[in-house]
Structure 1
Amino acid sequence: MLAASPAMKKDYGIRTGSRLFEIPDDPDIVIVSAQMSTYLEISTEVTRLFHKYVPKESIHTYSVDESFLEVDGSERMFGEAEEIATMILKELEDTFHLKAAIGIGPNMLMAKLCLDLEAKKKGVAVWTYEDVPEKLWRVAPLREMWGIGPRLERRLNRMGITTVGQLAHYPLDRLEKVFGVMGNQLFYHAHGIDLSELGAPIIQGQISYGKSQILLRDYHDPSHVKHVMLEMCEEVARRARSNDKAGRTISLGIGYSKTEGGGGFHRSRSLDQPTNITMDIYYTCLQLFKEFYEEKTVRSISVALSNISEDTSIQLDLFDTGRDRKRELGYVMDAIRDKYGSDALLRGVSYTEAGTALHRSKLVGGHFAE
């Protein structure tokens, strides 16, 4: 489910992210296929609309349905930030018949928090630094804070931190000791302080390349799981190469089927040298899979490459003399796929019953482009 109506959530307990087989067979429920190609076209047109209010360098497209606009300097033409927000909302509805919400803040972090925690309920909302104690520090559970996921939340909870206010008042040196530079960022973000420029990552130091997917069916055979892992490692490596990046830390996540109680594992391993070679990533994932897999049915897989650096050089290996050619081959394969389509070159495993890459190459955003 990409989206569920409020009535659906209230009456049937179905939420965004639910699987289609979980939806009751009820005549009052209408299921509509996602029209992803149309969605992307409208998203592009909405961005063009923003150009009427700010120059293109003041627009950062955060995702297909969210953007940051820096309106400083537009006041003389359109008024203050709230007035501009109201004008944009009206034009979105008049032109595209779309409802939207706008959060306003002194930086990207505050604007995003304002959007998620208040503006989505009322249309337009404004947060200032003076609002931090009253609005931000009360946020709980911690996963409601942008940039804090379930795993980080659990670690903070074990330290006795359950609200953003407690995080803001936790000793900075202890946060830095536990989380490194991330601890410093968590501390200042809990005070609403974000010095990143428009378009920069909100949480610096978290740049990584990853791919995750919920499988279309349960995978009982470990060899089939490995086939999908190889496809995903190929995609992660390709994303890194597309930005001329390489990484030292490789992470594998495996989620087990709910029919066997769910659960799973997420483990990482760091290499001596950064890489964006598909098979380097895959062999590391195989090691992690062999060590932590519990012979259960698999329903989800995730692969990530982090600890990123520029791919400007390669460390030669006396025992792997073809390493430089493997790296070059990756870029050549990427160029062919960029020109002729992602399914122009696929590994043999993609043509087995376990493979998913061939099927997913026909999708846009994970859905058929209707």
Structure 2
Amino acid sequence: MKSFYASCSAIELGLDPLTSYLAVVGDTQRDGSIVLAATPRLKSEFGIKTGSRLFDIPNDPQIQIVNAQMLMYLKISTKLTKFFNRYVPLEAIHTYSVDESFLDVNGTERLWGGKLALAKRIQEDMLTEFGLTCSIGIGPNMLLAKVCLDLEAKKKGIAEWTYDEVKKKLWNVSPLREMWGIGSRMEKRLNRLGIFSVGQLANTPLKLLEKKFGIMGNQLYYHAHGVDFSLIGAPILDGQVSFGKGQILLRDYKDIEEVKCVILEMCEEVARRARTAKKAGRTVNLCIGYSKTELEGGFNSSFTLQDPTNITLELYKVCLKIFSKHYNGQIVRSISITLSNIVEDDQIQLNLLEPNKPRQRDLGYVMDFIREKYGSDKLLRAVSYTKAGTTKHRSKLVGGHKA
């Protein structure tokens, strides 16, 4: 979708997404709020793009600035999935994100006249019914379709890559972070090996990549050759492998006690997610990201319990143990907590030395029931009412932004 959030907000205001100047921000009342989307003309003429700050937007009467409306965007995204279902079966649709989907169009030639004809039909029908524009990348697998979309179709509207064009088009991709599946950290690690383009990656021995990166090295090698065996709709793994929560804090946290307040709130949410699925876990991972003003980036560490748990305070104690081991007084800006090594909740062993554990577990389920029935903000821990707490504010958000 082209500038999906901005386009949806423009249409709601009766504006043309392609000719108007509109920016969607997280919160219009915060000067440092991030721009979540901008219409094409705002991008091209004023240089405002996703990731810019509210204070970067010029004070120009042509420009409209609006808050994100996540519920509206999600509803339109759901309608678009139903729209795609007109052209392919539901099982042939993979919703990759709120504004991006994969469609398997094999076998639809007699209905729609081929891939390019169907792509044009989808674009025209979508514009007529929703007022929205989209770019479409076509490929023999999900990888090539996605890379074609990012690198060519977004400029042309519709483009197609084939296996025969891998050496000509894919191997020229540089820097590596422009390749789907390669982030900035992986790019740096590959750069240290002297690999700066997808072509160089494709010509690196498979054994060397597997030695350096394990199973990811295998994937990197085959992706560099345009090979992707993943299937639309196929599960990545059988069952839930972890439960987690991460957030970028609205301000720098310098006080260690304030950081602990947020960690407790997040342990509550991670434990709730596990209990909702009737699961428990043994391994707790805590990731702390520091402010940009710090020389260090943060730390990421795990601890494995002898017995699985989904009790909030047990997770919290483990997180504090990890935190006290690695934290040296830096300014904190992001926190992430994950519970993994998952088992069924009924596999939790009773312990004679912890007679209150069953009651603590049951209490968690009771709290979950109350929140489910009356609202997530109707039963909060005391720390959530302090200036450090974030749960009360975030309970009113959808996807981390205003509903």
Shorter-chain TM-score: which interval? 0.7 to 0.9
Please list every run of 5 or more consecutive structure 2 residues that lacks an aligned counterpart in the other structure.
1-34
Q: Which deviations, in whole Å up to 9, do the C-alpha atoms of 1:128-173 show, x marking residues without a partner?
A: 2222212222222222222222222222222222222222222222
2:112 is aligned with what amino acid? Answer: F
Match of 1:350 in 2: 384
Give 1:249 shift. 4.6
Distance change in 2, residues 1:315/1:122 (3 Å) = farther
Match of 2:83 among 18, 43, 49: 49
Which of 77, 89, 99 aligns to 2:111? It is 77
Displacement of 1:245 after TM fit? 5.2
CA contact (8 A) 1:108 1:202 kept: no
Distance 1:151 1:318 in 2: 46
Task: Identify which range, 284-293 or 30-39, moves more after superposition.
Answer: 284-293
What do you get for the CA RMSD once the two structures are aligned?
A: 3.1
* Structure of higher CA gyration radius: 2
Q: Counterpart of 2:3?
A: none
Counterpart of 1:176, as a letter, is E
The structure, 1 or 2, with the larger RCO (C-alpha pairs under 8 Å, 6+ apart) is 1
Question: Which whole-Å deviations, capped at 9, do the CAs of 1:315-354 have from their partners, x for residues lacking one?
Answer: 5556545555555554554444344332243222212111
Is the CA contact (8 Å cut-off) linking 1:238 and 1:334 kept in structure 2? yes
Name 1:176's counterpart in structure 2: 210
Whether contact under 8 Å (1:246, 1:309) holds in the other structure is yes
1:267 match? 300
- Look up the equivalent residue of 1:235 and give its one-letter code: E
1:363 is matched with: 397
Pair 1:326–1:148, CA change in 2 (3 A): farther
Q: Deviations over 1:210-243 (max 9, x none)?
A: 4332222222212111211222233334344445
User: What amino acid is the match of 2:83?
Assistant: L
Change (3 A) 1:315 1:367: same
Which residue number in structure 1 is paired with residue 245 of structure 2?
211
Q: Residues 315 and 112 (structure 1 numbering): CA distance in 2 closer, same or farther, change over 3 Å?
A: farther
8 Å Cα contact 2:283/2:305 also seen in 1: no
| 1:243-270 CA-partner distances (Å, limit 9, x unpaired) | 5555555443333334x35753131214
Residues 270-285 of structure 1 correspond to what in structure 2 (within 5 A)? Answer: 270-272=303-305, 275-285=309-319
In the other structure, the counterpart of 2:287 is 253
CA shift in 2, pair 1:85/1:351, >3 Å = same
Instruction: Work out the CA distance in 1 between the residues paired with 2:373 and 2:322.
Output: 34
- Give the 3-state SS of the residue equivalent to 1:73 in structure 2: coil
Counterparts of 1:175 and 1:205, CA distance in 2:
29
Separation in 1, partners of 2:144, 2:391: 38
Query: Does 2:90 align with 1:59?
Result: no
Shift of 1:95: 0.4
Report what 2:20 is aligned to: none
Structure 2 match to 1:111: 145
Give the TM-score taking structure 1 as reference length.
Answer: 0.86
